[in-house]
Amino acid sequence: MAKVLLLEDEVALREEVADFLRSEGHQVQEAGSVAEFTPLIDHAEIAIIDVGLPDGDGFAVAESLSKTHPHIGAIMLTARGSINDKINGLRKGADHYLIKPIRLNELSAYVSAIARRIVSDTWRLNMLERSLCAPGGHEETMSALEMTLLELLARNAGKVVSRPDIARAFGTDWLDYDDRHLDQLVSRLRRRWQNRTGEKLPLRTEHGQGYSFCVDIEVL
């Protein structure tokens, strides 16, 4: 399932589309204007964009999105049905161009098709958002200390990172560091992840050595 950002100024249509996509299992955020849309972009995987907007042009939004967030899928949703408009939308960066009135099941099929292509099947550590995202989309915000640990492990994925190296990443001399604090940090992180996702975090204790993140992970 995908994180969808819906930009549509017609309230009734926006709510209808959002409710339907949520019923299909997608996470949906809504925006009625470009001003509302822009701050939400970083959290989206797919954007559904109306052309006629109160404070901008949907074609310009799609073009900007393709330049600043090329990994985000885009679907144009508009009453402008000429072949020139459709070609313009696709050239501006849209993956699909749908003409109103839309069929919700058709829109959902396009969303699902894009999701299969773009939704990551690997772990991701987002340094800007300070979050860890699992395959399938679950995302958790991390503390600063958790991010320091996870970044070190992610950049050495599959390898053992020693306790002294972790202490140095925390800005502490190993000889002065009480490594029980590290064990407690890892234990809390694992427990929180398990409680919220029902799955184990692939953060492995390497007894007598340190820790490792035992699957591939991408650092963004």
* Domains observed in the chain: 3-118 (3.40.50.2300), 123-219 (1.10.10.10)
According to the model, what pLDDT value does residue 128 have? Answer: 86
According to the model, what pLDDT value does residue 110 have? Answer: 93
> Whose CA is closest to 11, among 58, 54, 46?
54
Cβ-contact 49, 25 below 8 angstroms: no
The whole-number average pLDDT for the span 157-176 is: 92
Pairing state between β 123-126 and 96-99:
unpaired
Query: What percentage of the chain's residues is helix, strand, coil (to nearest 5)?
Result: 45, 25, 30
Full-model pTM? 0.58
d(CA 1, CA 87): 28
Confidence of residue 137 (pLDDT cuts 50, 70, 90): low
Confidence of residue 177 (pLDDT cuts 50, 70, 90): confident
